[in-house]
Amino acid sequence: MQAFNTLGFDCTLEELDLEDITKNQINTIKACTSEDSGTGNCPVLERSTFNTSKCLQGIYEDLKAYRAELKNFSDQNVLTTIDEMMKALRNSSTSVLQPSSNTGSTFKDRMRLCSVLHAFRIRTVTINRMMNYLTSLESSL
């Protein structure tokens, strides 16, 4: 939340059109839900067809995409946290920390950052829920 307070304006969801920067690639939502969601808005998670590896890969790809998007704008704590999550998902990750350069200083850049940060915050809720679901699968075996 600290990143929201350093943009120089009130960065609220009401002022934004959120952009899904992962919509054209594998991501948590595509990888962790059923291809055939059936009727209604809530995709069904069938234990027999659920692919844990694919889901974890989708989560990793989300983190990688958001890290790349935020690397020039966010403080080092955000990037370090994303790196730690990626490392936990893939022990062989060779991610190298890049220092933050904060090059996006125009108002348009800061508005985009605000949008990306809110989208990422929402995606982390989805990731957290999927990780809890995966944990519950493991504990019930």
Amino acid at position 82, single letter: I
The answer to whether 42 touches 6, Cβ cutoff 8 Å, is no
78 assigned to some structural domain: yes
Instruction: Tell me the three state secondary structure of residue 24.
Output: coil
Give the number of domains in the chain.
1
19 assigned to some structural domain: no
69 assigned to some structural domain: yes
43 assigned to some structural domain: no
How far does the chain reach from its first CA to its final CA, in angstroms? Answer: 37
pLDDT tens by residue, 25-46 = 889 988 888 665 555 556 566 6
Confidence of residue 61 (pLDDT cuts 50, 70, 90): very high
37 assigned to some structural domain: no
CA distance 8 to 112: 13
38 assigned to some structural domain: no
* Mean pLDDT over the full length of the chain: 78
Per the structure, the complete domain to which residue 87 belongs is given by 2-12+24-32+49-139
pTM of the model: 0.74
Q: Is the pLDDT of residue 13 over 60?
A: yes
